[in-house]
Structure 1
Amino acid sequence: MRTDALVDRRPGRSLPEILAQIRPGLEAVETLLSEAAHVPDLPMLASILASVLSGPAKRLRPALALLACEALGTNGAVPVTLATATEVLHSATLVHDDIVDSAASRRGKPAAHVAWSDKLAVLAGDYLFATAADLVARLERPRIVRQFADTIQRMARSEFVAPSFADGMRAARAQYLDKIGNKTASLVALACDAAAELAGAPDIQRDALHAFGWNVGLAFQVIDDILDVSGSSGDTGKPVGGDLRHGTLTLPVIIYLESGGERDGLVRRVVSGQASDDASMDEALRRLRASGAADAAHAWAAELAAQ
Structure 2
Amino acid sequence: MSPIALGVEFEDPVLERSVRAGLNAIEAQLRAAVDSEDEFVAGAARHLVDAGGKRFRPMVTMLAAQFADPSRPEIVPSAVVCELTHLATLYHDDVMDEAPVRRGAESANARWDNTVAILTGDFLFSRASNILADLGPYAVRLQARTFERLVTGQIRETVGPRPGIDPIDHYLAVLGDKTGSLIATAAEFGAHYAGAAPDIVESLRTFGEQIGVAFQLSDDILDIASESAESGKTPGTDLREGIATLPALYALRGTDEADRRLRNLVGRALPDDAEHAEALRLLRSSAAMDEARATLRDYAAMARETLQTLPDVPARAAFATLTQIVIARTG
TM range (shorter): 0.7 to 0.9
Does residue 1:90 correspond to 2:86, yes or no? yes
Q: What secondary structure is seen at the aligned counterpart in 1 of 2:35? A: coil
Matched to 1:24, the amino acid is A
**Structure 1 position 300, deviation (Å):** 2.5
Matches of 1:106 and 1:49, distance apart in 2: 14
CA contact (8 A) 2:142 2:185 kept: yes
**Structure 1 alignment gaps of length 5 or more:** 1-13
Q: Which moved more, 1:21-30 or 1:287-296?
A: 287-296
**Structure 1 position 76, deviation (Å):** 3.6
Q: 2:55 aligns with which of 43, 54, 59?
A: 59
Give the TM-score normalised by structure 2. 0.81
RMSD over aligned CA atoms reads 2.5
CA contact (8 A) 2:180 2:208 kept: yes
> Which structure 2 residues correspond to residues 38-187 of structure 1 after superposition, within 5 A?
38-40=35-37, 42-140=38-136, 142-162=137-157, 171-187=166-182
Matches of 2:229 and 2:147, distance apart in 1: 30
Q: Which moved more, 1:217-226 or 1:288-297?
A: 288-297
Aligned twin of 1:33:
30
> Which structure 2 residues correspond to residues 151-230 of structure 1 after superposition, within 5 A?
151-162=146-157, 171-230=166-225
Matches of 1:285 and 1:223, distance apart in 2: 16
CA contact (8 A) 1:266 1:280 kept: no
Q: What secondary structure is seen at the aligned counterpart in 2 of 1:160? A: helix
Q: 4+ runs of 1 displaced by more than 4 Å?
A: 163-168
**Structure 2 alignment gaps of length 5 or more:** 1-6, 305-331
Aligned twin of 2:284:
289
Relative to 1, partners in 2 of residues 1:184 and 1:99: Cα closer, same or farther, differing over 3 Å? same
**Structure 1 position 152, deviation (Å):** 1.0
Matched to 1:80, the amino acid is V
Matched to 2:152, the amino acid is R
CA contact (8 A) 1:38 1:46 kept: yes
Query: Taking every aligned residue pair, what percent have the same amino acid on both sides?
Result: 36
Q: What secondary structure is seen at the aligned counterpart in 1 of 2:166? A: helix
Relative to 1, partners in 2 of residues 1:232 and 1:72: Cα closer, same or farther, differing over 3 Å? farther
Q: Which moved more, 1:49-58 or 1:223-232?
A: 49-58
CA contact (8 A) 2:239 2:270 kept: no
Task: Report how many aligned residue pairs link the two structures.
Answer: 293
CA contact (8 A) 1:247 1:273 kept: yes
Does residue 1:278 correspond to 2:278, yes or no? no
Matched to 2:49, the amino acid is L
Write out per-residue CA displacement over residues 223-252 of structure 1, whole angstroms, 9 at most, x where no aligned residue.
010011111333122211111122222111
CA contact (8 A) 1:185 1:216 kept: yes
Relative to 1, partners in 2 of residues 1:281 and 1:128: Cα closer, same or farther, differing over 3 Å? same
**Structure 1 position 164, deviation (Å):** 5.7
Write out per-residue CA displacement over residues 103-128 of structure 1, whole angstroms, 9 at most, x where no aligned residue.
00101110011112212111111110
**Structure 1 position 207, deviation (Å):** 2.2
Matched to 2:87, the amino acid is S
Matches of 1:79 and 1:167, distance apart in 2: 43
Matches of 2:239 and 2:118, distance apart in 1: 25
**Structure 1 position 203, deviation (Å):** 3.6
CA contact (8 A) 1:144 1:197 kept: no
Q: What secondary structure is seen at the aligned counterpart in 2 of 1:235? A: coil
Does residue 1:304 correspond to 2:299, yes or no? yes
Q: What secondary structure is seen at the aligned counterpart in 2 of 1:255? A: helix
Q: What secondary structure is seen at the aligned counterpart in 2 of 1:249? A: coil
Q: Structure with the greater relative contact order (CA < 8 A, sep ≥ 6): 1 or 2?
A: 2
Matches of 1:75 and 1:158, distance apart in 2: 34
